[in-house]
Amino acid sequence: MKNLLDLTIEEMKQFAVELGEKPFRGRQIFTWLHRGVRDFREMTDLSLPLRDKLTKGFARGDFRIGGCRVAGVQEDSRDKTRKFLFRVGGADEEREDNGGDFVEAVFMKYRYGNTLCVSSQIGCRMGCRFCAGALGGFVRNLSPGEMLDQVLAAERYLREKGEADEKIINHVVVMGMGEPFDNYDNVAGFLRLLHHEAGKNMSYRNMTVSTSGIIPMIYRFAEDFPQVNLAISLHCLTDEGRSAIMPVNRRYPLDELLEAAHRYTDKTHRRITFEYTLIRGENDTAEDAALIGKKLGGMLCHVNLIPLNRVEETGYDGSTRKRAEEFAAAIESAGIPATVRRELGGKIDGACGQLRRISSCPTGTDSL
């Protein structure tokens, strides 16, 4: 069934024309939907007959809107991080019955604004050994509108809780469940929807996409979205070690990945973020730190160190805070800017790598 949130502005204009309306009506509908309004009767600048036509079309099941329904919310009371569990699929708010699957998104408050970490797939194919995203296997790609609806549904929930204005989410990171570059076209469509001036009008600079290292898509991304931030999950600077924890490295080895990263910065003049999850005894030694200095020296980059968040099934443990800080200091002394990421949402399994398909998030709203 057609999902109206998947449509570009041109497609929405076409949709209006198919309803016997002028194209500009499509733009108006686009704007309302992207503001989070989904009751056509509230779209007050549309004619009454058009509102009626849309309401009836929706009731008949001619089209649907969004497809993400809040199925559970957990709040980390310390830092106000919230994890949303969304039911996605054919199920719309008014239609309870037709199944669906689950993804998660995490809302985080930072000094510079509010960020939503969005999922790009249901499940994941990459199989990183330390990550919960891969545990339930891969189900399917999310569409642009299903990614956008994570933002809209989270905002609606927060607004209903009385948490500020419409622009409450002003940064988006595609770092939730899934590998965005394994679903490139839909992620690209999502970024364009977010950016559209008739919609959320979000600056590309407020968006970040994180990849485990699918090299051909890094080249494509540099062409298509030179203003969107790119993060690459590195985690180890030897092929042997990286392949052991990230199977993607066997297909796209380290030197080629770093070459792509260099080309990316040459082309975009934008600083790359390398994510490096510190796993106790695996990749957190002084030699590992030295290798980072050696391999990344001279690149326009920044290393974001994430102490591993524990995922029960994987058997890995995070480095201690002390080790993480020593590691950061060693990298910095080699001239590479590094930060140890503030852990948000650890208490609710909402931290990096803890998002999973079969969620730990109970149905219903929960505050810890």
Per-residue exposure over 150-177, b if at least 16 CB sit within 10 Å of its own CB, e if not = bbbbbbbbbeeeeeeeeebbebbbbbbb
Sign of CA dihedral 200, 158, 99, 181: positive
For the chain, first and last CA: distance in Å?
38
Among 211, 229, 273, 359, binds ligand SAH (CB under 6 A): 211
Among 5, 147, 217, 352, binds ligand SAH (CB under 6 A): 352
- Is there binding between residue 309 and ligand SAH (CB under 6 A)? yes
What single string gives the DSSP state of each residue in 310-334?
P-GGG---BPPHHHHHHHHHHHHHT
- Is there binding between residue 210 and ligand SAH (CB under 6 A)? yes
Q: Which amino acid is at 342?
A: R
Compute the least distance from the CB of residue 272 to ligand SAH, in Å.
12
Among 275, 284, 288, 349, binds ligand SAH (CB under 6 A): 275
Compute the least distance from the CB of residue 197 to ligand SAH, in Å.
28
Nearest CB to ligand SAH, comparing residues 72 and 346? 346
Binding mask 164-183 for ligand SAH (x = CB under 6 A): -----------x---x----
State which of positions 276-305 bind ligand SAH (CB under 6 A).
Answer: 277
Nearest CB to ligand SAH, comparing residues 9 and 214? 214
Strands 113-117 and 101-110: antiparallel
d(CA 158, CA 168): 8
What phi and psi, each to the nearest 5 degrees, are found at residue 161? -80, 5
- Is there binding between residue 306 and ligand SAH (CB under 6 A)? yes
Compute the least distance from the CB of residue 203 to ligand SAH, in Å.
21
CB 215 within 8 A of CB 260: yes
* Longest pairwise C-alpha distance within the chain: 70
Nearest CB to ligand SAH, comparing residues 46 and 230? 230
Is 104 in the active site? yes
- Is there binding between residue 233 and ligand SAH (CB under 6 A)? yes
Nearest CB to ligand SAH, comparing residues 3 and 314? 314
Stretch that binds ligand SAH, among 6-14, 27-35, 102-110, 122-130 (CB under 6 A): 122-130
Compute the least distance from the CB of residue 163 to ligand SAH, in Å.
25
Compute the least distance from the CB of residue 346 to ligand SAH, in Å.
9
Is 352 in the active site? yes
- Is there binding between residue 212 and ligand SAH (CB under 6 A)? yes
Ranked by CB distance to ligand SAH, the top (closest) residue is 353
CB 222 within 8 A of CB 268: yes
What Å distances lie between residue 141 and 5, 147, 180, 232, CA to CA?
16, 10, 9, 20
Q: Which of 112, 176, 118, 164 has the alpha carbon at shortest distance from 144?
A: 118
- Is there binding between residue 353 and ligand SAH (CB under 6 A)? yes
Cβ-proximal residues to 124 (8 Å cutoff; 6+ apart), any chain: 131, 133, 134, 138, 177, 178, 179, 182
Nearest CB to ligand SAH, comparing residues 143 and 319? 319
- Among 104, 155, 275, 282, the one annotated catalytic: 104
Compute the least distance from the CB of residue 88 to ligand SAH, in Å.
17
- Is there binding between residue 311 and ligand SAH (CB under 6 A)? yes
Kindly state the DSSP code that residue 212 receives in the 8-state scheme.
S
- Is there binding between residue 115 and ligand SAH (CB under 6 A)? no
Strands 121-123 and 138-141: antiparallel
Binding site for ligand SAH (CB under 6 A): 126, 128, 130-131, 175, 179, 210-212, 233, 275, 277, 306, 308-309, 311, 352-353
Q: Among all residues, which ones are annotated catalytic? A: 104, 352
